[in-house]
Amino acid sequence: MPRHFRRAGLGAALVMPLLLAACGGGSQYDGSILSGQVLMSAANPVYDAGYGNVCVYAITSGQGNPLNTTVVPATNTGTLLTSSCVPTDANGNFSIDLSSFYGPVLVQIAAGSYTNVATGGSAALPNLSSTNASLQAVANIGGGGTVNMVVTPLTTIATVKASAMSGGLSAADYAAASANVAGQFQLGSLNINSAPVAGDAYDKALYGVQQYLASGSGANDDPNANNLLTWNLGASQVQADYTAAYNLINHSSASFSFN
C-alpha cells in the first residue's frame, strides 16, 4: 500500500474521473483494466495486423512521452507499463491489465492503418516526428474495474495542449485541454474521450481531419498533418486548410478559429 501514496502529491487530479469513468468496485487506490478503441472516425478503426501498436506509459513529473525527439540525443522520459506494446484488433479495440498501477497514463499509438473516408482507400497513420507516435490520449487509472477510453486525432491534440500547460502533462490538464479542443472543433456538449457516433459533430470533425490528410492544400502545407495534430498553428495554414477540408467532406460552410 505505501507505494500508492508516493503518488499522492499529484493531488485531486488523480482521483477525478477525467471523463473516463472507472466501473466496478475496489478502493480508489486499486488499478484498473484499460479498455480502449483507436478510431479515425466513427466505425473507422485503426488496425495494426498484430504488430503491437498501443503503448502505455506512466506519467511522472508532468512527462509521459517515452521518447523526446526534440532534443539531441533523444531522451527517454517515460516508464512503459507493459512488457511490450499491445495490438489493436480489426475493430481498433485493445485491452491492457493495469491492475497493479494507479495514476494517469499516456497512451500512444505507434503504427496502424485505416480506411480514409475521403479517398476510400487504405492509409497509414501519420507519423508525428515531435512525439514519436501517431495518435495519443491520456487515461486516469484507479478505482478497480474497467477504465474505458478512445484514442483519436482530437485526443491527440488535447494531449499536446495539456503537455504545454504550466503543470506539464497531468490528468487535470488533459481534462481541461479536452474541453478546449471540443470547443474549438465545435462539438457542443460532446466529449472527445467518448467514442464518436456516425454523423455527430465529433464524427464530422474527424472526417475533416481525414480530408485534411488527403487534400492537396493540406498535404502540401502540412505533410502528414504534423502541424495539425501537434497544434503547431504558426507553421502553416492549418486553420484555413482544415476549414476547407471540413467543408468539402461535410458539404458545409463552417468557420473555425483555432488558438
Higher pLDDT, 81 or 73: 81
- Let me know if residue 50 belongs to a domain: yes
Asked if pLDDT for residue 129 goes beyond 90, the answer is no
Query: Does a structural domain hold residue 34?
Result: yes
pLDDT score at 31: 81
Record the pTM. 0.83
- The DSSP output letter for 224 is G
Identify the band that residue 11 occupies on the pLDDT scale cut at 50, 70 and 90. Answer: very low
Q: Let me know if residue 45 belongs to a domain.
A: yes
pLDDT given for residue 8 in this prediction: 32
In this prediction, residues 84-112 reach a mean pLDDT of 90
- Mean per-residue pLDDT, 46-68: 73
Question: What are the residues whose beta carbons fall under 8 Å from the beta carbon of 14, sequence distance 6 or more?
Answer: 7, 8, 102, 103, 104, 140, 142, 171
Neighbours of 126 (CB within 10 A): 20
Element (H, E) at 106: strand 103-109
User: Higher model confidence: residue 167 or residue 250?
Assistant: 250
Q: How confident is the model at residue 128 (pLDDT cuts 50, 70, 90)?
A: confident
Neighbours of 149 (CB within 10 A): 23
Per DSSP, the three-state class of 100 is: coil
Q: Is residue 258 part of a domain?
A: no
Tens digits of residue pLDDT in 95-106:
999 988 888 899
Residue 255 lies in a domain: no
The proportion of the chain whose per-residue pLDDT surpasses 90, expressed as a percent, equals: 53
CA angle 58, 40, 110 (to 5 degrees): 40
**Stretch 77-91: mean pLDDT, rounded?**
83
pLDDT in the model for residue 168? 75
pLDDT beyond 50 at 5:
no
Q: What domain count does the chain have? A: 1
Q: Which domain holds residue 95?
A: 2-250
Alpha-helical (H) ranges within 164-200 are: 171-184
Residue 196 covered by a domain:
yes
In this structure, what is the dihedral angle of CA atoms 185, 222, 246, 117, given to the nearest 10 degrees? -110
Q: How confident is the model at residue 159 (pLDDT cuts 50, 70, 90)?
A: very high
Nearest Cα neighbor of 133 from 72, 67, 192, 75 is 67
Find which of 25-39, 59-73, 114-128, 207-221 is predicted with most confidence, using mean pLDDT.
114-128
User: Is residue 257 situated within a structural domain?
Assistant: no
* Mean pLDDT along residues 42-60: 88
